[in-house]
Homo-oligomer: A and B are copies of this chain.
Amino acid sequence: MRKYRLMSPGPTPVPEKVLLKMADTMIHHRTPQFQAVLKDVHVKLKKVFMTENPVVIFASSGTGAMEASVVNLLAKGDKALVIRGGKFGERFAEICEAYGIETVPYDVVWGEAPDPAQVAGLLKSDPKIKAVYSTLCETSTGVVADIKGIGKAVSGTGAVLVVDAISGLSADEFRPDEWGVDVVVSGSQKGLMLPPGLAFLTVSPKAQKLAERSDLPKYYFNLKAALKAHGKDDTPWTPAVSLIMGLDSVLDMMLEEGLDNILARHARLADATREAVKAMGLEIFAKSPSNAVTSVKVPEGVDGKALVKKMRDEQGVTIAGGQGDLKGRIFRIAHLGYMDEYDTITAVAGVEMVLSQLGHKLQLGKGVAKAQEILK
């Protein structure tokens, strides 16, 4: 017997009562019954996303909403400033390129955070830049960006700020309206504690205005159609009904805990993990670490891929390895969503045991004790 423990930065564990809510009788989506659910969900999503802007739901993974934030905001001849400090920043650039939008890349060394002053400078240099794309938490590196600072750099200009908060939402502090964020992209399988399959997009009035002149082709991810339906608590295409029933339930849980409490919980678990890992003699990879996921350098002499594999296949604890150039060089422990103190202690204990099995010299329990000290 070995329990399955999901501690990767998405998908994340789904609370049992939400799993059961999604297992309820399937209902039809074009009925007053479902419309009432959607109406409720639309109100609660604004609270959880901390925005007054509409939060549109797509039946897709997060990448779909990333695409929506490109094809609906930009027009032929526009340029996009894309902050690339990891795999997901790069994805924004790939989407722009797929639609013929020239990107002005701001390449940040993986593991470091973007500098708002650089964003301001690049923006000034090219008036064709109509949108700035950033991640909140760059999941691939565990870095949280200074969105407040970037927001200041963008808000005075004609460009809109689009933030991929797929893994950062409800884990890292994020006040989109206050900080001048026009569009927030997110997904269901991270802090929102649901299975993958829903993506979200918030749209400020400034972004809606920009979208009016967009002439890039789109259909499934057409924002105008989505917003029109949203206004009637409806969807343009068949929605992912069971996931939306789960969303309804999960949003209640989140509002009951309170968003500031959720952020504080993520901060506590992340802090405990970082300090525990340091106590074990390991090094944090991210210079500006996110509270969604902690990225840790694999110590010299240890096979990073074997570490992740043994954790998963022998201990039942699914953490994540590195992506791209970081494969084998880092491992990542998430604190996202349905996670508490004992999940953090489990992750730390597992890493200690497996590192020890792999021949790395360390004192078992040192990391765990450090985590306990912080969490007690």
Contact = CB atoms under 8 A, between A and B. Distances in A.
Nearest to A7: B28
- Integer count of this chain's copies in the complex: 2
Contacts of A241: 11, 189, 195-197
Contacts of A4: 25, 27
Interface stretch (A12-20, A45-53, A178-186): A12-20
A216 B219 CA distance: 13
A224 to B, nearest CB: 11
Contact of A238 (B10, B217, B220, B222): B10
A352 interface: no
A324 B242 CA distance: 27
A217 B23 contact: no
Interface string A1-38: 00010101011111000011011111111011000000
A49 B318 CA distance: 34
Interface in A290-328: 312-313, 318
Interface stretch (A55-63, A77-85, A127-135, A269-277): A55-63
Given A99-B219, A220-B63, A13 B26 contact: yes
B238 A61 contact: yes
B29 A23 contact: no
Interface string A334-367: 0000000000000000000000000000000000
Interface in A157-201: 187, 189, 195-197
Task: Pick the most buried of A13, A24, A60, A63: most chain B CB atoms within 10 A of its CB.
Answer: A60
- Interface size classification for chain A: 35 or more
B219 A67 contact: yes
A194 to B, nearest CB: 9
Question: Top 9 nearest A-B pairs by Cβ distance?
Answer: A197-B240, A195-B242, A19-B23, A23-B23, A61-B238, A98-B219, A63-B237, A196-B238, A61-B237
Interface of A: 4, 6, 8, 10-14, 19-20, 22-29, 31-32, 59-64, 67, 94-95, 98-100, 187, 189, 195-197, 216-222, 237-243, 312-313, 318
21 contacts: A6-B28, A11-B28, A12-B26, A14-B242, A19-B23, A20-B23, A22-B242, A28-B312, A31-B318, A59-B64, A60-B64, A61-B240, A63-B237, A64-B220, A64-B237, A98-B219, A196-B239, A197-B197, A197-B241, A216-B217, A240-B240
